[in-house]
Amino acid sequence: MIKTAAGYQWRVASKKKRSSKTLYSDGRNTPSYNKYQQSRIKQREHALRKYGITVDQHRQMFISQNGRCAICDKKFIDRRDVCVDHSHTTNQVRQLLCCGCNTRLSAVEDKDFLTKAVEYLNKWNV
């Protein structure tokens, strides 16, 4: 690629044009992104209300667990990594888990499935 003065000037002008519109070049901090963020916050609050806890209670649980999964002790990297573990029969909130542990635990909660799964693995000497 041959770098010319005209090409350089175009890149600089283009970069200034993009940066004047948004704080980030990937589109964050635009009105549509802010609206998206607000809707995500409302979805999160609604999901927590489903479990009967507030955002502050969720934050307190997160802090008390040092930002880690209660089962595998993996550090939560992202907000989407955190799942609220609860009993499906009593709806009682237990602790915060990573999504992987929460998915595995849902299979283990069913005692009939767990018994059959152990029998199956024993059959194959695993």
| CATH for 50 | 3.40.1800.10
How far apart are alpha carbons 22 and 72 in whole angstroms? 39
Residue 19 maps to a domain: no
Q: How many structural domains is the chain composed of?
A: 1
Residue 8 maps to a domain: no
Residue 100 maps to a domain: yes
Cα dist. 124→32, 84, 107, 116, 117 in Å? 54, 34, 20, 13, 11
Partnered with residue 1 across adjacent β-strands are none
Whether residue 6 has pLDDT greater than 60: yes
- Report the pLDDT value the prediction gives residue 23, as an integer from 0 to 100: 47
- Report the pLDDT value the prediction gives residue 13, as an integer from 0 to 100: 72
pLDDT tier at 42, thresholds 50, 70, 90: confident
- Render pLDDT for 19-32 as a digit per residue (tens, 0 to 9): 554 444 555 566 66
Q: Which residues contact 71 (CB under 8 A, 6 or more apart)?
A: 97, 98, 101, 105
Domain of residue 87, residue span: 27-123
Residue 103 maps to a domain: yes
The mean predicted confidence, pLDDT, of the chain is 80
- Report the pLDDT value the prediction gives residue 114, as an integer from 0 to 100: 86
